[in-house]
Structure formats: C-alpha cells, structure tokens
Structure 1
C-alpha cells in the first residue's frame, strides 16, 4: 500500500451496485518468492478456495527459480503454478499471472495475506459497472506480537495495512491496493499491467507500482473510478522485522523515490501533478497528527515516528529529483532479458 494511494476524493458516493447476471468469471493470482512463506502461501490459497463467491481459476506465480517452483508445486498439489525462473519482482509476477488467466475478472492476493470468505463477493459487484476501473479491500494488520506504539496510524501503509485517513464506507478513491484488489482482466492487459522497475523487488521495499498503474488506467479509461470497499477484508501478516524503525525509514524513503520517479516520468503537466497532489495534502496534516500523538498517553513515541517517516519520504523525493533513473514499463506477458 503506497503513500496516500487511496485518499478518497470529495464527491457524493453512489450506492454500491448490484452484480450483473450472468456473473463474470473470476480468476485469482497469488504471487510468492520464498520457501520461508510456504505455510502462509498455503493459508492464502486455502482462503481463496474457501470464498463464498465461486472462483473459476487460481494461478500461483513463483517469483523465483525452478527449485523454488518445485517446492511450491509439492506444497500445493493440483494447483496451477507458474515459475518465472528468477526473481523479477512483484509487478512482473502479477502481470504473468494475469496473462495466464482465462477469466473476465482478475483478483490479486499476496502470499502473506488471507482473504475473508466474502472478499470476492464484496468486490465483484463493483467490477461489473463500466465506470468502475477496479476495487480493493481493507487490509487488516496481523502483527507478529503487538503493533509498535511508535508506528503512526497514518503510516501503517508502510507495512501493507489500512491506515488512518481511509474512508469508513465504500467510496471512490485515487488508487487501489494491489495486494487485495480486483478489476476487469481485459482492462489490466490492455494498459500493459504493472510497471517493472518500481514496486517491491530487486532490493526495493518501496511501492509506487499501483499509483503509476492507476494513473495509466485513468488516462486510458477517462471518467472511470477506483473504489475502496472496506466490507471486503483481508488479514495481512506483519512479521517482526517489518515492525522496526529501520524498515519504517527504508520503506518511507523508497516510497518517496518511487513517487518522485513517477511524477518525473509523467512530466510537469496535470498527469505529473496528479502523482503527488494528494501527498501534498497528506503532508499538511502530519504536523497536527504529531501533536495529537504527543497528547495521547502511550502513543507519544508515534509523534517521533511521524517526523522520522516524513523526513524519509522527503529525502526519497529529493533523491529522485536529483537522479535520472527511468521508469520502465513491461507489458503483461512480455519477457525481459
């Protein structure tokens, strides 16, 4: 979940649509990259198989070599497993999975998450409307141990968890969260999928691929909206190494770099401004948030967390502005040497 990626826009919220008949076919892509997550991967796949809404096809994409692929196939007998051959990042893994599907809709679930039984059922009705580009669920943090008091609620996106500022009811938002999202597969493929070179992978922990993707989809499908649907839920595991100061700083810094790269790639016009516009509003609210934490017993350390994370984001934005690193887009299903 990227920095303020799903900030709700100020507008009247229409009622949730009813599903069209006949129901579109549903495919789910689950990506994995390490044998250490095999128990979590099994749980993720089991949660997909336990959906109240029928799932027509499930593809597990192994973002790694054939040895890891063999381990995953052994752990998931009977499941469709696709192996990339080497670690290429979550964007390429998701693109590959979507290209393997033969369904009308594509849903994405991370291997460290489990979907609530109505995840697909709550999101699918939104995806039948031509004016809805995609929809994502609420990601609920499943911390190993307690969530650290110093981690600001506004920065829970750094660990892939729904953060303070998201709408309480279903509403149009700027971007979706790719780890628990759904959309029409033809739209996903037509725009080329997620961009390679940004997002998690290749030593990066930052996001950005979802923000860039959603800006691209909006340009290709003017007038469409992405939706945040909190009634649809997933539980996202947060391991101890991610609930640390060092991860907060690194994740925030990488986010700043990626958002700066996206804005630079889109230029100085409206599209480039759209990449960072909500972040500026988000930044204006942070001083007030820090003061509120200082007044809250047991959460005063979160004021320092707010300052540290914000400075890391700014440092990343500055780094991006000073560099000329290009953003490379690899279309879904394409190979890259």
Structure 2
C-alpha cells in the first residue's frame, strides 16, 4: 500500500516543528511513498524548505489561502494509493502509517484516522523530537506529556486538535484532520475539502473541514467506511496560549460557527449526529466525574465540570449565531463542482 503523506505549512515560526514532523515520517516502519510539503502563500518559507529538504516534494498552495486549500493542493500532487495528513506541529509514532495501511486491505474502508495525543507546555522541544529514537516516540504505552491545566477536561481535547474522551475504536462518522488518511479515489467521489469552512487567517480558529468532507464522502458513497484506530498515534503540540481558558472559550464558539457551515452543506441530521451523542452522554458523565472528584478534595475537578458546562454553552451559542447568519453554502473548489456534474 503506497501512502503519500501531506504536511501543510504556513509560517517560518514553526520551522523546527516542520522538520520534526518530516523526520518522524521518514522514520516510519511502513515507509511513505512520498512526503509532500504544501506551503500556504509564503514564498520565503517555500524556498527555504526546498533548499533544506531536497528529497521532498515542496509545492505552493494553488488554492485559496488556508488549510482546506493546502490539503486540496496536496491531494492533487499526491501519487500514492492513500493520502495521509499530518499537522506541521505534530510528530508521528513509528507505527503510524503501518496502523493506517492494515485497514486498507478491506476495500470498503475509504479512510482511517488515528489517536492524537497532546504535547502540553513543558513537553520536549521540536528540536529534541527530531531524534527518531526519542523515548516519547517509542514508548510502549503512548501518552500525552507536559503540563495539562488541571481545569482542562479531556472531553474537550478537540479544542487543541487532539483525540477526546468519548471516541471509541472502530467505525466513526468523521476523522480528525491532523491525523487522517483517505484512499485517493475518495476525492474523486466526494470532491475536495470545502474552502469556506476550514482554518484560514480569519481571526477566529475555525475548523471542521474534515468533518464536512467525511460526511459528504459517505453521503455520495454510502458503502464507504471510516475507521478510528488508536494505534495510529501522533503527538500534537499545544502552545501555551492554547492551554488558557480564553482560547478554550474562543475555540468552542468558533466550533459552533463552523458546525453551522457544516450543517448548511450536508444537513443537520448528519452534521450534528455525533455532537448530539457527545453532548447527551459523554459530557454529563464528565461533569459528574468532575463533581465527584471535587467532593473528594480535588479542587480541579470542579474546574473541569465548570469548563465542560461553559464549553458546551459557548459551542451552542456559536452554532446559534452561525445558523442565524449563514445565508449560502460554503464556497467549493473546482474539483468539487466537477464532482457534482
């Protein structure tokens, strides 16, 4: 199984992170077919990467500025049977691609996603993680590291791009975009990532481009199966500013806005099915658990219970605002328009 790995980059401030991500892909037990670096409208960074990484495919984002456009560019440049995506501030465990590859023996599987663990503040630096033999990357039992804020609930780890409490191995509605892979033909079925949904240089941290894509893929190919495999492990860096409550609140509100765009594109039934289950089952359990811990003397338990409650409220508010203001579906790229014909 040939797997092309796409890494989207946009700023030289993440130079060491980008090199660490590339090094981790090079060290995979299942060797990548190719590594494609997509540079988002930053010629200086593109030239620097081209000079430093001559054995890689380095291409400029030829679509709209932002993560969705970068991914669409990467897909167009890829020649592997499968296209995998890794964030530019993440590193992959050596068995990451092997865990993806084993699922593609089943022709019904259109995509596979993995477990994303947090590199909280205080974790090893990107320079340290450029060593493929680093103990973190080769741990028998992978785990997050660094200093997780005591109030930060695991049920909301999605706000920092990580796997969250409530995800279970097996079939899943949608994969998380920074740790995902798809058969290349899936893009011919569903088109590309919607460029009016994912992260751009907008002041709000919008997201959900992978959610909308996965739902659209399954709507257009009803037999397509998406799988979550926790053995496909990566670590995603959480900068100090994203470990603060102010960012948590903004991210929750932005997620609500993004979900309004998703439901406008794919419908509320599919667009909110997983969110309803998470809100009605997982979050109440998290609140109860936090309150029990607080009653036993762990003050942070009360903070987690409050963060879950406030996070749900801010996400719901963002969705309500988004639903009230969205007037037309997100702009699609040419490949998506062609797929509709």
> TM tier, shorter chain?
0.7 to 0.9
Q: Is the 8 A contact 1:289 1:303 kept in 2?
A: yes
> Partners in 2 of 1:332 and 1:31 — Cα distance?
19
Does residue 136 in structure 1 map to residue 113 in structure 2?
A: yes
- SS for the counterpart of 1:302 is helix
Does residue 64 in structure 1 map to residue 14 in structure 2?
A: no
Structure 1 length as normaliser, TM-score? 0.86
Q: Looking at both structures, which has the greater relative contact order when contacts are Cα pairs under 8 Å and sequence separation is at least 6?
A: 1
| Post-superposition offset of 1:288 | 3.8
Q: Count the aligned residue pairs.
A: 305
Deviates more, 1:322-331 or 1:234-243: 322-331
- SS for the counterpart of 1:295 is helix
Q: Is the 8 A contact 1:95 1:333 kept in 2?
A: no
Q: Is the 8 A contact 1:116 1:232 kept in 2?
A: yes
Stretches of structure 2 that go unaligned for 5 or more consecutive residues are: 123-146
- SS for the counterpart of 2:272 is helix
Instruction: Identify which of 7, 12, 15 aligns with 1:38.
Output: 15
CA offsets, 1:240-280, max 9 Å, x none? 111111111111111111111221233xxxx4311112212
Deviates more, 1:69-78 or 1:240-249: 69-78
- 2:308 matched residue in structure 1: 306
Q: Is the 8 A contact 1:65 1:85 kept in 2?
A: no
CA offsets, 1:32-91, max 9 Å, x none? 111011101001001111111121111100012212212222342332111127971111
CA offsets, 1:97-127, max 9 Å, x none? 1100111111111101111111111111212
Structure 2 length as normaliser, TM-score? 0.85
Does residue 275 in structure 1 map to residue 275 in structure 2?
A: no
| Post-superposition offset of 1:158 | 0.4
Change (3 A) 1:189 1:33: farther
Stretches of structure 1 that go unaligned for 5 or more consecutive residues are: 1-23
> Partners in 1 of 2:31 and 2:45 — Cα distance?
29
- 1:166 matched residue in structure 2: 167
- 1:7 matched residue in structure 2: none
The alignment's C-alpha RMSD in Å is 1.8
- 2:227 matched residue in structure 1: 227
